[in-house]
Amino acid sequence: MKTRICDLLKIEYPIVQGGMAWVAEHHLAAAVSNAGGLGIIAAGNAPAEVIREEIRKAKELTDKPFGVNIMLLSPHASEIAKLVVEEKVPVVTTGAGNPESYISMWKEAGIIIIPVVASVALAKRMEKYGADAVVAEGCEAGGHIGELTTMTLIPQIVDAVSIPVIAAGGIGDGRGLAAVFMLGAEAGQIGTRFVVSHESIVHENYKKRIIDSKDIDSTVTGRSTGHPVRSIRNNMTRNYLKLEKEGKSFEELELLTLGSLRKAVMEGDMSEGSIMAGQIAGLISKQQSCKEIITEIVTEADKLMRL
Ligand code: TUI
């Protein structure tokens, strides 16, 4: 199962791990890279020095390539954009914005640039500015999302650009990976399934909540503020949606989510924490190692595509 993404990223299997804030730290990234995929350290809202340490620790755990995801809404995004050059990180993905202003600096440093996009317009713009590939993320994904589904977004982006497309949003097993190949993608980015891996450092309550979740357990908050976020329904999302319905301001709503992802990931607070997860959570039924997850997904997809 070799695609242009395997050659571009020098990886064995066309699987990229999602850049999930708080969750995607050096243990997870190194485990995915060691298993033949592309592991990613998510910068989230962390300061540059914290991410420098994460990068150095990942390098101690793997000699395979890995990436850093820069969340562009972070106040530290521009510092981290420079840090990846200093630390000679081979691959950068970006999320929740347009990374245009950093692209020339990264290209000069020889970094492979893969913006996450949720529209054809941004995919085309990224190709024009020199991106090496794009992650096209459908709204089945967890966390900050766009409008379109994976099923509709991937073929439209594949038709609009020549660079390889990595599909994200809703991929949880080999059927999902095979399906996005049929849509023209050349790799799949997987988030939620890696959250429940043995190597993931998230609180056991978070893993259990994903394993226990049903198909309809996630919801989207923040549509009214222009920052839609998918997470598992709980007391926090219920309060948030109620206040949103009452027309509360972005600032008031933000008070509810400030630090809430950390609360869920680190403290296991399943009531007030933000349990970001994709719609595929309902399919995920057990904890496995990253190696087991990747082997199982690739074997299943390969079998289906031979049919
Ligand atoms: O970035 C993500 N997912 C995330 S970031 C995150 S941290 C956060 N926490 C609370 C509130 C907000 C963020 C949690 N999950 N995925 C990549 C992604 N990017 N999905 C959609 C987009 C996107 C959307 C619009 C990228 C660009 C865009 O338009 C930019 C433009 O200027 O056109």
- Tens of pLDDT, residues 22-67: 999 999 999 999 999 999 999 999 999 999 999 999 999 999 999 9
Cα 300 to middle of ligand 1, angstroms: 30
The answer on pLDDT for 141 being more than 90 is: yes
| C-alpha closest to that of 35 among 142, 193, 176, 265 | 193
Mean pLDDT, the chain, whole residue set: 97
Distance CA 188, CA 165 (A): 9
Cα 295 to middle of ligand 1, angstroms: 29
Rounded to an integer, the average pLDDT of 118-125 is 98
Residues 6+ apart with CB under 8 A from 54: 25, 26, 41
Q: Whose CA is nearest to atom 12 of ligand 1?
A: 144
The answer on pLDDT for 307 being more than 90 is: no
Give residues (CB < 6 A) around ligand 1: 21, 44, 71, 73, 95-98, 116-118, 122, 137, 143-146, 227, 229, 276
Do 147 and 253 lie in one domain? The reply is: no
Do 166 and 262 lie in one domain? The reply is: no
* Closest ligand 1 atom to 45 CA: 7
Do 131 and 220 lie in one domain? The reply is: no
What is the pLDDT at residue 130?
97
* Closest ligand 1 atom to 146 CA: 21
% of the chain at pLDDT higher than 90: 97
What is the pLDDT at residue 1?
86
Do 192 and 243 lie in one domain? The reply is: no
Do 176 and 229 lie in one domain? The reply is: no
Is 205 a member of any domain? no
Cα 299 to middle of ligand 1, angstroms: 31
Cα 74 to middle of ligand 1, angstroms: 11
Bridge partners (DSSP) listed for residue 46: none
Is 59 a member of any domain? yes
Do 195 and 223 lie in one domain? The reply is: no
The answer on pLDDT for 128 being more than 90 is: yes
Distance CA 103, CA 115 (A): 10
- pLDDT one-digit tens code per residue, 201-235: 999 999 999 999 999 999 999 999 999 999 999 99
- pLDDT one-digit tens code per residue, 259-303: 999 999 999 999 999 999 999 999 999 999 999 999 999 999 999
Q: Is 156 exposed, middle or buried (0-12, 13-18, 19+ CB in 10 A)?
A: middle
Helix residue ranges per DSSP H, the chain = 4-9, 26-34, 48-61, 77-86, 100-108, 120-128, 150-160, 174-182, 192-195, 204-212, 235-245, 250-257, 260-267, 290-306
Is 153 a member of any domain? yes
Answer for the pair 207, 200: CB distance below 8 angstroms, yes or no: yes
Do 145 and 269 lie in one domain? The reply is: no
Cα 96 to middle of ligand 1, angstroms: 2
Do 128 and 250 lie in one domain? The reply is: no
Do 248 and 104 lie in one domain? The reply is: no
SS3 call for 256? helix
Distance CA 247, CA 43 (A): 31
Cα 95 to middle of ligand 1, angstroms: 5
Do 139 and 34 lie in one domain? The reply is: yes
Is 207 a member of any domain? no
Do 227 and 296 lie in one domain? The reply is: no
Cα 109 to middle of ligand 1, angstroms: 25
Distance CA 206, CA 187 (A): 27
* Closest ligand 1 atom to 137 CA: 20
Q: How many domains does the chain have?
A: 2
3-state secondary structure 121-186: HHHHHHHHCCCCCEEEECCCCCEECCCCCHHHHHHHHHHHCCCCEEEECCCCCHHHHHHHHHCCCC
Which of 69, 144, 218 gets mutated to test ligand 1 (max ligand atoms within 8 A of its CB)?
Answer: 144
pTM over 0.85: yes
Is 206 a member of any domain? no
Residues 6+ apart with CB under 8 A from 150: 136, 137, 138, 139, 140, 167, 168, 169, 170, 171, 180, 183
Do 20 and 50 lie in one domain? The reply is: yes
Max CA-CA distance within the chain?
53
Is 208 a member of any domain? no
Distance CA 225, CA 177 (A): 32
Positive or negative, the Cα torsion across 161, 162, 163, 164?
A: positive
CATH number of the structural domain spanning residue 132: 3.20.20.70
Is 50 a member of any domain? yes
Range of the domain at 67: 4-200+288-306
Q: Whose CA is nearest to atom 8 of ligand 1?
A: 144
